[in-house]
Amino acid sequence: MGREAAQPDHRFGVSPPLTIGVEEELLLVDAERRLLPDAERVIESLDAAAREVVSTEIFAAQIELKTGICGAAAAAATELADLRAAVRATGAGLLGAGVHPDDGGEAELVPKPRYDVVKEDLASLLSTPPSGLHVHVGMPDPETAVRVANAMRLRLPMLAALAANSPFRDGADSGLASARAAEVRAYPRFEMPREFRDYEEFLAVADQLVEAAGVDDYTYIWWDVRPHPNLGTVEVRGMDVQSSVAANAGLAALIQALAAREIDRPSSSDLQREALEESYYQATRYGLEARLMLAGGEAAPALEAAMSALDEARPFAEDLDGAGPLVEIERILAEGTGADRQRAAFERGGIPAVLDYLAEATSAE
């Protein structure tokens, strides 16, 4: 496999810089809140416009909802809310959580050529649908995309702590704030990438990794943050999906604003990849109670890091007319993460109460 597979014609600069697109992976469930392996039927039941932006994932009990190119997170929230309503109208229920709290066994897979490659590669590692939130931010050119991706790596542990939303797995508390992160860390090419010198180095690394993995192109490289030449964006991936549209929009608004801060003056740091990986683990283990390494090389509580990032992001969000959804970040900081709310529900009534809470939060308008 040569360089051609790893360096498609890029689309950086095609869309206005700092526009965003949001992708949320959600679980399909039946009336008893059990996984419902019915993604293909659900999508076939949607109208033509919705079928363009709702897609299957490798697991048959999971779908992905995708917005168009949005100027601000509030518009993305409206699109996602409409898509959730369309999916529910097919008769399927939805759960927004990093993993199902009590999935009850190995999940079915969708038979498609792309997924066949992944199934062959991951073998028994594919056991339950891990559901993430992906936020794309438009970049003006390849070199800016690399610089911003480098800088956003430093934000990933803080974002993962804010987004932690999967403490339960197989009917029991995993002890983690994000069991999803532990699930996908067993997959190949799910990791914190290195800092890249420039776009050429990104292409060279992608080229070698594509060759080593025996896959078709860089879209099989599932780094936590990556330049995405096909879409002309930087994609931030390493987060649990949130139960509510509002929470997903809040995280998208925070990421958009932080990317705006980085686009002209990206953060510099000698923080090593290994320290970032450890901070990411600490975030997924403890959520906002984690202790994280910051760009300056010092450690701080995740809650403090998130509050500082919110303060830093706010003026950029206001410039982008996107400050409104940041109220959801304030709520998480004040009331706790999705993992905290799931555990509170468990204290009230065990796993059934957790499932009821998730279903209600995911269907809330």
Please give the domain boundaries of the chain with CATH numbers for all domains.
3-363 (3.30.590.20)
Contacts by 43-50, CB closer than 8 A, 24 or more apart: 45/90, 45/91, 46/86, 46/87, 46/90, 47/86, 50/83, 50/86
C-alpha to C-alpha distances, 10 to 115, 230, 278, nearest whole angstrom: 24, 5, 32
pLDDT at 8 (0 to 100): 52
Question: CA-to-CA distance for 279 and 104, rounded, in angstroms?
Answer: 31
Given a cut of 50, the residues of the chain with pLDDT beneath it are: 1-7
Residue 120, pLDDT score: 74
Distance in angstroms (rounded) separating the CA atoms of residues 73 and 320? 10
CB atoms within 10 A of CB 365: 8
**CA gap 187, 132 in Å, rounded:** 14
CB 350 within 8 A of CB 174: no
Q: What is the pLDDT of residue 3?
A: 41
Label residue 120 exposed, middle or buried (CB < 10 Å: 0-12, 13-18, 19+): exposed
**H and E: helices and strands count for the chain:** 14, 11
CA distance readout (Å), 149 to 134, 196, 352: 14, 9, 40
The DSSP secondary-structure symbol of 198 reads: S
Identify residue 60 by its one-letter amino acid code: A
